[in-house]
Structure 1
Amino acid sequence: MRKKTRLTPDEARAVAVVEEAVPPSLLELLAGQKVPHTWRVTVLRELDRSGRTPKQLADRVARRWVRHRYQSKLLAGRGLENPYKVLNALVAAGECPDAGCEDEFMVDTGEECRTCRERKATRGKGGAVPAQRTGRRWWECRICRDPKHREPQPEDRVCQDCNREAEVVCAAKAAQWNAPTTEDVNDR
């Protein structure tokens, strides 16, 4: 375990690149509105372990913030149970054992990770609820990737929860964009 020491200038620059990708709405939920030193050490460990550049790790933070739907949860008024866990989840290593895999895509080629594709193909085989018990086949939402069986599979393979969440986010953004600005008020 690394003691709480000052970061070297190179370490501080690397962490700063990743820290810039942390969304302001998440920072507002943290005590003191800044990332803790332990998170900075976690970032350094992940940079060292994974061989990623600070920019690649910053891209991971931004991508996971959207892909894991944290912002939409905040906009929907559901909040985040533990913002520190979210902060760590944004930089944590993925589940894939392939070191070149970055959230199901290969870093060097940008192609889909073969290991992840094979795991997805075998996921649920043999463990699914038999058709005679559910009456419907299982399907996977293409956004949240949750297995579904209680609702019919739509053509676009987007579950009702994801559709509702998208509507809430769109409505919030529309309200934000349509809100009068100080320039509009001053022009009147």
Structure 2
Amino acid sequence: MPEVVVRKQQLIVEEIFHEGGPPPDVPLRKAAMLSVIANPFAGRYEPEIAGFMEDLKPLGLSMANRLIEALGGDAKAVEGYGKGAIVGTNGELEHGALWHVPGGYAMREALGGAKAIVPSTKKVGGPGTRLDVPVTHIDASYVRSHFDAMEVWINDAPRADEMLVALVMTTGPRVHARVGGLAAADIKGEDGLR
């Protein structure tokens, strides 16, 4: 399969000190790692593309490890995650789906075997396109307090023959989460859902 060619990367760390109510004891931290890569399938229909997922795995693992470092270096501090891709206009939505396995499994591996499926989104767009990357708890998708998102973009990406791939991690629930549902403390850890 083709070589993964990275044009640029961006690492974003956001700290949330309050949401209008009392400040939490520890600020919520969200981080996004973005990579802009050449789309080897841009401009044509290619029937066999799945092999490129294997080529993307080292990039996914590198990005996941950089996120953990950006959030303090302790994988145990990470409680939420998500992934996404923006495909340039000479590509197709299915090219963004190539990020599912290398992005999701990389985060699960780097975090020591997180159990929940990594939520995902993708779209086709030009430079400056924004993407809301969904976030859920790393071990149980039904933990309502961790339902969140992080908006990501790069002003000059993706160009028509590129893809922007993204990973997001968070250190906790939404600030002031209080709408009930399964609590993180009550996770059974059997199926990645509850």
Same fold (TM over 0.5): no
TM-score (normalised: structure 2): 0.24
TM-score (normalised: structure 1): 0.24
Higher helix share: 1
Higher strand share: 2
- When Rg is computed on C-alpha atoms for both structures, the one with the higher figure is 1
Greater RCO (CA < 8 Å, at least 6 residues apart): 2
